[in-house]
Chains A and B, each alone.
Chain A
């Protein structure tokens, strides 16, 4: 494959980022009724089962589609890996950490949705079973945050070492990325607490860390698209300075 064709696929992969962002917020968040507020872990089993019956169609379709949408994370993680490998050179260990972290984020997020689809699968069953399935889904997505943190911190550290004239990520974004990755940490408390800001529907375990994740994802996507665009332009209109820059990078 020639460079031009490869860059075309890299551009498509980078654009899977914005597409993921919009589709995930719509299907996982709005249609699956996790926004404006997820079901409270303090709900009784009966109330929770009634919530499934009330929103049955939205929960089923929203989470089933969001499992497919989540796989857009795969091409996005791949193009970020390639861009990081260019920074790191011969032994791209940070790119590999990022790749594995991103690859593991996909099952973490989608398997939790499987549990919610399973909870909605038989709405007339004993409510305690529905509650157990709902609990499992939330505990999977919230307590396994560290996989994604590895992805983000590795990307940020590589970004800080980017010595090319036009770095992949600005330095401020690298520091903010580390912060965003660590902002997931309170979600571990969702494994114990049922009320308050550290429960799975709380400000500090739901709204703030999920916002931080998608904030990073949105900004990283923009800079990754710009990076591919610069490389395409350098290929189409080679100038002495740009070719020297790319050769150096």
Chain B
């Protein structure tokens, strides 16, 4: 029995370690499941009236949607860079990258403000038709997630400014970054389903 080789314990730097916090990942999985339901519901209602969905979709501003996709993808890059800086112990760079990510999150909200404003000014609301019901509900719920994710990034930024994250402690920043990447991932799905899918 004693001769059996024991598996080597995973060191904190092992690439096979789950980044962040297992229980935060359970939260993220629950979020992804809920959005999965949203997407299935959207596809179901779209399949019933494809013509209406395609027609109403022409009213969306694709360039603003694409701009927001670029903003969130870039912010994800900034957050990844912050995590990498923390792992490498470059603790001064961590809050700078995070501040850039937060600024991009705020920019996303500003773009959405103008996008919603243009729709409402044109008399398009949540009750206009089934497509716009989904457009407002799904992007609205996602916007709540952008706000929540930006608050998470802000808390991490405060901690990073206090030099809390370093080579030996990256759990908190990894957990927050995982959530932000989820927000980004969901937007990519939403952009494809609402703005692009014909």
Interface residues in chain A, defined as those with a beta carbon under 8 Å from any beta carbon in chain B:
171-172, 174-176, 178-179, 183, 185-186, 189, 192-193, 195-198, 203-204, 208
| Also in contact, A195 and B31, with CB within 8 A (given A175-B24, A203-B41, A208-B37) | no
Min CB–CB distance B47 → chain A (angstroms): 14
Nearest CB to that of B127 among chain A residues? Answer: A192
Q: Do most interface residues of chain A lie in helix, strand or loop, or is the interface mixed? A: helix
Contacts of B144 in A (CB 8 A): 185
Interchain Cβ contacts under 8 Å between A and B, 29 examples: A171-B23, A172-B22, A172-B23, A172-B26, A174-B23, A175-B23, A175-B24, A176-B27, A179-B30, A179-B34, A183-B34, A186-B141, A189-B137, A192-B127, A193-B126, A193-B133, A195-B130, A196-B45, A196-B134, A197-B41, A197-B45, A198-B133, A198-B137, A203-B37, A203-B41, A204-B38, A204-B41, A204-B137, A208-B37
The number of residues on chain B lying at the interface, defined by a beta carbon within 8 Å of a beta carbon of chain A, is 20
Contacts of B26 in A (CB 8 A): 172, 175-176
Contacts of B137 in A (CB 8 A): 186, 189, 198, 204
For residues 132 through 164 of chain B, which have their beta carbon under 8 Å from a beta carbon of chain A? 133-134, 137, 141, 144
User: Complex formed: what's the CA distance from A42 to B27 in Å?
Assistant: 34
Nearest CB to that of B40 among chain A residues? Answer: A203
User: Complex formed: what's the CA distance from A208 to B40 in Å?
Assistant: 13
For residues 1 through 53 of chain B, which have their beta carbon under 8 Å from a beta carbon of chain A? 22-24, 26-27, 30-31, 34, 37-38, 41, 45
**Contact A196–B37 (Cβ < 8 Å):** no
Nearest CB to that of B145 among chain A residues? Answer: A182
User: Complex formed: what's the CA distance from A203 to B37 in Å?
Assistant: 9
User: Complex formed: what's the CA distance from A46 to B30 in Å?
Assistant: 40
User: Complex formed: what's the CA distance from A176 to B133 in Å?
Assistant: 28
Which 6 A-B pairs give the minimum distances between C-beta atoms? A175-B27, A171-B23, A197-B41, A179-B30, A172-B23, A172-B26
